[in-house]
Amino acid sequence: MSIVAIIPARGGSKRIPHKNIVEFCGKPMIVWTIQAAIDANIFNDIYVSTDSPEIATYSENHGAKVIMRSSCFDDQSTVSQATIQTLKQLQEQGKEYDIVIQLMANCPIRGYADIINSFDNYKEQGNKFQISCFTYGFMNPWWAVRLEEKYRPEALFPEALKSRSQDLPKLFCPTGAIWIADVKSLMKAGTFYAPGYRMCPIPWESAVDIDDYEDLKLAKAIMKMNEVKNESKEMLKKTTELLESIPILQIKVKNDKTDVKDLKKERFTGSSLHCTRRPEGPQIDDEIRHKQKIRNRERAIIRTEILLERLMHYMESMKGEEGYEILELRYLKGMTYEKIADKLQYSKSSIEKKHRKLLKKLKILIYGADALEAGK
């Protein structure tokens, strides 16, 4: 099965001039989509379809192939038309594909995992057409109103205004982030919204598409939020790695101390000495080199013991916390979640939840203000 990614990227955007290559969080906007497609690692080819030489240059410089549109499409043309035209041009070049995945360049937060998950859903469902969507969340359209003269509200769904949000069905909105179709079926239907099309929900953050400056401001705020979340996750991961290293570091200190004792037992006689000359610097005989080796090993022991003492101090600081025994069993005795759950008579999910809560507090002890800024 051959799969092509097509990224439509018109050059003549009006609400945000040069929108597809406007700077977004340190990169031209289209580059985020190109990189997501590359990282998804499911495509035979990745094409940017454009009428702009400038967009073409950016795209080629960041790993995408480019096909210049043979027909002129304006802001009245549908994105389906642009993708179908691109597929026709590729066919004229002798390039045939089974599946096309259309990725809009103005959805820069959509990542490679979203693409993979959407494609997995497409294969599992077995439909010919799939369009990405997201839940409205707090923006509940059931309560939508039109504002008439003098701001008089007219409810679109009057009966829904009497219901609690949790009692109303979830509503979903299409997004141009990830559209998938069987190529032959798309060419025949002329649209992704063909009979029998299905939708695939993605996270609302990934679904944000940028049409105006307010959208751009929102998307940048989401990216910043994601950066903070990722930084927090990375700190949590490092905290776990440090705690998991405790038994290994204890063994290392023990072994290094034994090595130092053995090294100190070694003796040198005058006949056994010989000198070597470095490219630069004084001559060093074997005995001096031997003493340096001992000193280096002793310094390494001291550094490891300081780290161990620090980690054990943090562990001691957590003793008053609920579920502290989970930390001891996990990091000092090396027990699995399953064995801990069995020993403490809790469910595995409960153990994992308590463990994560403790780790978040340990993260703050270890990283201080940096951890607080990265979010708990």
pLDDT for res 269: 54
Q: What pLDDT tens digit does each residue of the chain (376 aa) get?
A: 999 999 999 988 888 999 999 999 999 999 999 999 999 999 999 999 999 999 999 999 999 999 998 765 555 678 899 999 999 999 999 999 999 999 999 999 999 999 999 999 999 999 999 999 999 988 889 999 999 999 999 999 999 988 988 899 999 999 999 999 999 999 999 999 999 999 999 999 999 999 999 999 999 999 998 888 888 888 999 999 999 999 999 999 999 999 999 888 876 554 444 444 555 555 556 778 888 889 999 999 999 999 999 999 999 999 999 999 999 999 999 899 999 999 999 999 999 999 999 998 998 888 886 766 665 4
pTM value is: 0.71
Secondary structure class of 164 (helix, strand, coil): coil
Question: How far is residue 61 CA from its own chain's centroid?
Answer: 23
Q: 282-306 burial by CB neighbour count: b if 16+ within 10 A, else e? A: eeeeeeeeeeeeeeeeeeebeebee
pLDDT for res 198: 97
| Residue 316 included in any domain | no
pLDDT for res 73: 56
Query: Are 200 and 263 part of one and the same domain?
Result: no
C-alpha triplet 35, 40, 43: angle, nearest 5°:
95
pLDDT for res 366: 87
Query: Are 43 and 185 part of one and the same domain?
Result: yes
Query: Are 59 and 180 part of one and the same domain?
Result: yes
pLDDT for res 273: 44
Residue 278: Cβ within 10 Å count: 8
Which strands sit side by side in the sheet containing 172-182, from one edge to the other? 65-68, 45-50, 3-9, 99-102, 172-182, 129-135, 198-201
Phi and psi of 120, rounded to 5°?
A: -60, -40
Distance CA 57, CA 42 (A): 24
Query: Are 109 and 158 part of one and the same domain?
Result: no
Q: Match 């219901």 to its residue by tokens.
A: 163
| Residue 255 included in any domain | yes
pLDDT for res 264: 87
Domain range for residue 271?
A: 251-307
Question: How far is residue 155 CA from its own chain's centroid?
Answer: 40
> For the CA atoms of the chain, what is the radius of gyration?
30
pLDDT for res 31: 98
Query: Are 262 and 123 part of one and the same domain?
Result: no
DSSP characters over 168-213: SPP-EEEEEEEEEEEHHHHHHHSSSS-TT-EEEE--HHHH----SH
| Residue 348 included in any domain | no
Distance CA 372, CA 364 (A): 7
Q: Are 46 and 34 in contact (CB under 8 A)?
A: yes
Angle between helices 213-244 and 286-317 (to 10 degrees): 110
Query: Are 155 and 178 part of one and the same domain?
Result: no
Distance CA 63, CA 321 (A): 51
Q: Would you call 334 exposed, middle or buried from its count of C-beta atoms within 10 A (0-12, 13-18, 19+)?
A: exposed
Q: Are 69 and 49 in contact (CB under 8 A)?
A: yes
Query: Are 86 and 160 part of one and the same domain?
Result: no
Query: Are 182 and 123 part of one and the same domain?
Result: yes
pLDDT for res 291: 87
Query: Are 152 and 132 part of one and the same domain?
Result: no
C-alpha triplet 25, 51, 29: angle, nearest 5°:
5
pLDDT for res 272: 45
Query: Are 182 and 104 part of one and the same domain?
Result: yes
Number of domains in the chain: 3
DSSP β-ladder status, 275-277 and 153-155 = unpaired
| Direct distance between the N- and C-terminal alpha carbons of the chain, in angstroms, rounded to an integer | 44
| Residue 201 included in any domain | yes
Query: Are 117 and 47 part of one and the same domain?
Result: yes
